[in-house]
Structure 1
């Protein structure tokens, strides 16, 4: 044993010490690398997490801002309709447009007021600008309106400037056609068209629109731009009216 120790003892001690030092260095390096990872990588992880949370927060804020803007716009529309209703000479009912068919956009709308609110068939519907249509069907809480832009709609009308009578017919757009009862001269773009006393479905004097163009080859026919924004209706005003159709 002593001979082995004399021969290999010192070398063994050196190897053991080297192994201890190597183990210590390895552990120290591991701790160092761990700390280095924490200080170098962790900020980026935090930044990434912050960026995601920040984006979600900003998206939520944008959503709320858009909701507030939409509510403000709806309130403005309602206020304008109520202000308009107050200018009418008869008792009126402000009603929201709650349904509309994409395929029949210019033909009919459904309103969020019905018989329990005092709405009746044959009541007329107006909006800011002028005539919109008339009520055709009523339920306790809704009503359906035939728009004057509907291709089947006919409204007795008059050219306000020279008191020439005729009627308008819809064509499923923001313009309608006015057919005079006889040849009329001197019609100009911008001339105002209103409902006439000959109409049995509407009271006289309601604004319909203005002459947009005149067919020179057919002097009794003109194109009229509707004054009510029928394509973007959100609120309307319902006025009581008893149809004279079938009455003499």
Structure 2
């Protein structure tokens, strides 16, 4: 026979566990309905001492400011580019012909631009092709309605150039990359990084003193004469309109 005291204790234990189970069920329902908001708030309160300090906040603020400055600079450059393209498109001179780029192969072995103007517009083989800021190449072939430009970056392209303020002469040679090579004629050229390269005043192929490139690197140890790596002022990858200069 079961002891009455044990029976009462069992009933009390059973009822308590029943209330615990009921309370836990209500808690789960509460979490479900509130989508765990109470737990998230509790976690935020407990983890507050470990939150990022003011130093990280300053880094984030500086990063945001830098990003905004970069975006402003890019917008400024893009606006300048669009203004330049508009000037190229609207220019009118019997010796300067504006043309649109209809096809480009600026990254292939044959680095060329196809233009929408040809012999019907008085364009001839050997005319100089200018982009915004500088010389791009020379007209290589012409049809009645189109013309093909051989870029200065094309392998085998050679052009006489000089540094006007230093009176240093050289030959700009295309090597198949977006940065041609400038071979100096002097063994000790008076040149430095940042110098502007322009077409030679003695050139018979293109008009003299056209801006071409900027020196990026100089190898003074090369034999028999130093050479430089230059960056074209007008990049063929980002040009939609050009000017063709009639020289002959």
TM-score calculated relative to the size of structure 1:
0.61
Matches within 5 A, 1:64-103: 78-82=85-89, 85=91, 91-101=95-105
Quote the Cα distance in structure 2 between the aligned partners of 1:82 and 1:103. 25
- Decide whether aligned partners of structure 1 residues 116 and 225 sit closer, same or farther in structure 2, where only a CA change above 3 A counts: same
The answer to whether the aligner puts 1:112 opposite 2:116 as a matched pair is yes
Contact 1:176–1:225 (Cα < 8 Å) also in 2: yes
Quote the Cα distance in structure 1 between the aligned partners of 2:209 and 2:80. 30
- Could you say what secondary structure the match of 2:193 adopts? coil
- What is the deviation of 1:226? 0.7
Say how many residue pairs are matched.
Answer: 168
The answer to whether the aligner puts 1:240 opposite 2:237 as a matched pair is no
The answer to whether the aligner puts 1:201 opposite 2:225 as a matched pair is no
Quote the Cα distance in structure 2 between the aligned partners of 1:132 and 1:171. 15
Segments of 5+ residues of structure 1 without an aligned counterpart are: 1-71, 243-248
- Decide whether aligned partners of structure 1 residues 77 and 164 sit closer, same or farther in structure 2, where only a CA change above 3 A counts: closer
Residue by residue, what CA displacement relative to the aligned partner does 1:24-46 show, whole Å, maximum 9, x if unpaired?
xxxxxxxxxxxxxxxxxxxxxxx
Contact 2:219–2:228 (Cα < 8 Å) also in 1: yes
Segments of 5+ residues of structure 2 without an aligned counterpart are: 1-78
Quote the Cα distance in structure 2 between the aligned partners of 1:74 and 1:205. 23
- Could you say what secondary structure the match of 2:100 adopts? strand
- Could you say what secondary structure the match of 2:130 adopts? strand
- What is the deviation of 1:232? 1.8
Quote the Cα distance in structure 1 between the aligned partners of 2:229 and 2:165. 16
The match for 1:126 is 130
Contact 1:153–1:169 (Cα < 8 Å) also in 2: yes
Moved more, 178-187 or 102-111: 102-111
Contact 2:168–2:189 (Cα < 8 Å) also in 1: no
Residue by residue, what CA displacement relative to the aligned partner does 1:45-90 show, whole Å, maximum 9, x if unpaired?
xxxxxxxxxxxxxxxxxxxxxxxxxxx999756413236x46x8x7
- What is the deviation of 1:152? 1.2
- Could you say what secondary structure the match of 1:175 adopts? coil
Contact 1:195–1:203 (Cα < 8 Å) also in 2: yes
- Decide whether aligned partners of structure 1 residues 168 and 79 sit closer, same or farther in structure 2, where only a CA change above 3 A counts: same
The answer to whether the aligner puts 1:222 opposite 2:193 as a matched pair is no
The match for 2:5 is none
- What is the deviation of 1:97? 0.5
- Decide whether aligned partners of structure 1 residues 161 and 117 sit closer, same or farther in structure 2, where only a CA change above 3 A counts: same
Quote the Cα distance in structure 2 between the aligned partners of 1:233 and 1:105. 19
Moved more, 168-177 or 179-188: 179-188
TM-score calculated relative to the size of structure 2:
0.61
Contact 2:166–2:190 (Cα < 8 Å) also in 1: no
Contact 1:123–1:240 (Cα < 8 Å) also in 2: yes
- Decide whether aligned partners of structure 1 residues 224 and 106 sit closer, same or farther in structure 2, where only a CA change above 3 A counts: farther
